[in-house]
Structure 1
Amino acid sequence: MFWIGCHLSASKGYLAMGKEAEKIGANVFQFFTRNPRGGNVKALDKGDIDAYIAFAQQRGFGTLLAHAPYTMNACSADEGLRGFALRMMEEDLERLELLPHVLYNFHPGSHVKQGVEAGVGMITDMLNEVLEKGGKTPILLETMAGKGSEVGRSFEEIRQIIDGVGGHERMGVCLDTCHVYDGGYDIVENLDGVLDEFDQIIGLKRLKAIHLNDSKNPMGSHKDRHEKIGEGTLGLEGITRIINHPKLVHLPFYLETPNELDGYAKEIALLKELRKEG
């Protein structure tokens, strides 16, 4: 099964997102848990959740990807902002317990000149506190492009965070194709080598989702600027190799390209043509 979808607006609820995804040919989708540039969260609608679950089961939908807001910074220099990040994550995960098949993805954070070691320590402190409270939803660290003081720009930094929570079984990784390429990993000419490196440092069993994006910038640029599929520096051949790689084909792919719904529909149709099933 080719699990392919895109980022949708959660403002209308889960069932509306499911129907929207079906309309554009998707069978998975990603959504922000709350305002991506703020901290506000919608009131919980249990009826909508139940209706979506029934819809998804009937349609054979795959795993959803819930994305934490960009304002969540677990390694901020401001103690108040770190506390805010903790409260957001705890609240998000509590709400996601109502969904049977969902992953929770977040940007590890920016250490803001405090240094990587300090940043990793603060991130793991937050995660340890969250994980102590239990739950079933996997928590994914997103691979970052290395812009500014971002933590998670290398596989080694991701591994440090996972080690800091004792290798907890709920911890996983979302690999963003634009981010890793901008971060200096050549997934166009050396995809096998990059995946081998990921496996040696983190372990492929931790890889749970793919953000499938082309990039506006060359490898190693540390810019983090997504491009439409086939229109950037990864190119259509590079993207085709990624979606057909035997170590990745079982994973869900989520588009975050600069598109409206009609653009996502075209990309999903194109990717289905490029996917070699069986």
Structure 2
Amino acid sequence: MRVGAHVSIAGGVDNAVGRQREVGGNCGQIFTHSPQVWQDPNIDDEEAEAFREGTARDLDGPWVIHSSYLVNLCTPKDDLRAKSIDSMQKEVDAAAKLGVEYVNVHLGAHTGAGVERGISNAASALDELDVPDGVTVLVESDAGSGTKLGGDFEHLARVLDESDQELDVCLDTAHAFAAGYDLSTEVGVANAVSEFDDVIGLEHLKCVHLNDSKHECGTNKDEHAHIGEGLIGDEGMRAIVNHPDLRDVPLVLETPNEDGKGFAWNIARVKELRAN
């Protein structure tokens, strides 16, 4: 079972390996810099080598780099589009340097341009990237609030279809639940996985962000809860981690650190649900 968490790179990206082991993870996710600002990854050769060696020695992988929250691939604004493409190029280059397989990105918001143009903008922005060999961009499912795209599986499928890049998908369970896919029961999970396969294709599912939700299904509200303690709940989480089509997909947690519970507690809970 490949399960891990989004860990900090404070003090050097190589420190992420030890932090992942401390919480009981064997794969995981990082930011290469603060996701709230336009900033370039600053990773020197020594750190990169230590990260690669530590990962090979201590973890099963894969790692995922999560792009900046400021990136908006759907935007109709030329300046934001240019910044988003530049930021993504630096992320895929950093991934190659670190030996990281995946760079994860939200499609962003069309901000009034409409769904059709938003999807076209996202696909063409991704086509601007020179993605190094061994790195794949994952487009992430979204909670679908406002004009954000990616809440509907069809949005993701169309970007994959319209882009010339070899793209894959990261499914966030809390986002999908918020977008209206009821993952709170075994039947609901089975239906959602079947729909994902029909619309996108399970061969494109390379990572699951495993998060419970603090808000009801279909509310478009994105707020993560501890595994089994949100509105997806134990039944839904158990169904997800034991679904035969999801068992081999890496699970990366972005659960909160609150109520005396952090990543270690949540990863242990996932392992309990898988075993039972």
What TM-score, normalized to structure 2?
0.94
Secondary structure at the counterpart of residue 158 of structure 1: helix
**Cα offset for 1:262?**
5.6
Which deviates more from structure 2 when the two are superposed, residues 25-34 or residues 198-207?
A: 25-34
- Post-superposition Cα deviations, 1:154-190, rounded to whole Å, max 9, x if no partner, equal 1111111011114x4x310000000001101112231
Pick from 254, 257, 260: which aligns with 2:255?
257
Cα distance in 2 between the residues matched to 1:136 and 1:56: 16
Is the CA contact 1:34–1:68 (under 8 Å) kept in the aligned structure 2?
no
Q: Which residue of structure 1 aligns with residue 171 of structure 2?
A: 175
Counterpart residue type for residue 12 of structure 1: G
CA offsets, 1:176-208, max 9 Å, x none?
Answer: 000001101112231111111111111000000
Q: Which moved more, 1:177-186 or 1:264-273?
A: 264-273
- In structure 2, the residue matched to 1:220 is 218
Which moved further from structure 2: 210-219 or 37-46? 37-46
Mapped contact 2:41–2:94 kept (Cα < 8 A): no
Q: Distance in 1 between matches of 2:177 and 2:226?
A: 15
Aligned-partner SS, 1:105: strand
Would you say the 8 A contact 1:182–1:223 is kept in 2?
yes
Q: Check conservation: 1:111, 1:151, Cα contact below 8 A.
A: yes
CA distance in 2, matches of 1:32, 1:23: 18
Q: Which amino acid aligns with 2:139?
A: L
Give identity over the alignment, percent.
Answer: 34
What is the rounded CA distance, in whole Å, between the counterparts of 1:118 and 1:147 in structure 2? 17
Q: Which moved more, 1:95-104 or 1:236-245?
A: 95-104
Match of 1:185 in 2: 181
Are 2:214 and 2:224, in contact at CA under 8 Å, matched by a contact in 1? yes
In the alignment, the residues of structure 1 paired with residue 95 and residue 241 of structure 2 have an alpha-carbon distance, to the nearest angstrom, of 28
Query: Whole-Å Cα distance in 1 between the matches of residues 261 and 175 of structure 2?
Result: 24
1:11 aligns with 2:7: no
Cα 1:31–1:101 shift into 2, 3 Å: closer
**Secondary structure class of the residue paired with 1:146:** coil
Q: Which amino acid aligns with 2:257?
A: N
| Local SS of the residue matching 1:241 | helix
For 2:132 and 2:262, locate their aligned partners in 1 and report how far apart those are by CA, in whole Å. 39
SS of match in other structure, 2:221: coil
Gaps of 5+ in 2: none
Q: In the TM superposition, what is the alpha-carbon distance from 1:96 to its structure 2 partner? A: 1.1
CA RMSD of aligned residues (A): 1.7
**1:28-43 aligned within 5 A:** 28-43=27-42
Instruction: Output the TM-score relative to the length of structure 1.
Output: 0.93
Q: Once the 2 structures are TM-superposed, how far is the Cα of residue 99 of structure 1 from its aligned partner?
A: 2.8
Q: CA contact under 8 A between 2:73 and 2:81: conserved in structure 1?
A: yes
Cα 1:36–1:101 shift into 2, 3 Å: closer
1:29-61: CA deviation from partner (whole Å, max 9, x where unpaired): 211132211111342211111112212222233
Q: Residue 163 of structure 1 aligns with which residue?
A: 161
Q: Are the equivalent residues in 1 in contact too, given 2:76–2:121 (CA < 8 A)?
A: no
Matching residue's letter, 2:52: I
CA apart distance, 1:101? 4.0
Residue 121 (1) aligns with residue 130 (2): no
Aligned length: 273
Q: Determine if contact 2:5/2:28 at 8 Å carries over to the other structure.
A: yes
Deviation of 1:134 (Å): 4.9
Residue 222 of structure 1 deviates from its aligned partner by 0.7
2:269 is aligned with 1:270: yes
Three-state SS of the structure 2 residue aligned to 1:14 is coil
Letter in 1 for 2:179: G
Deviations along 1:78-106, one digit per CA (max 9) or x if unpaired, are: 21011000100111111211233421100
- The equivalent of 2:87 in structure 1 is 88
Equivalent residue, structure 1, for 2:61: 62
Give distance in 2, aligned partners of 1:115 and 1:262: 41
